[in-house]
Amino acid sequence: MANQLENLVESIKSKVRALKKSKKPYIKMDKSSSVKVEIRSRKARKLIDKTLKGADRPGKRSIL
């Protein structure tokens, strides 16, 4: 049992060392199309809110 545990620990250590030596320890994932749509809709919502806030004060000339 102890021998198996030692082998497991050594295996984990070697994998960690290999990750440290590699230039990219992980693969960066691109944003999915649904996430991109969500980001655009949030930006659009903020712009709409700013525009409506400016429209609520007709005496002011600057909207943004």
Residue range 5-42, pLDDT digits in tens: 898 999 989 888 887 776 666 677 788 888 889 999 99
Q: Which pLDDT value is given to residue 40?
A: 93
Cα torsion through 21, 24, 26, 32, rounded to 10: 180
Inter-CA distances, 16 with 20, 29, 60, Å:
6, 21, 61
In this predicted structure, the answer to whether residue 64 has a pLDDT above a threshold of 60 is no
**What pLDDT is recorded for position 23?**
67
Which residue ranges make up each domain of the chain?
A: 2-55
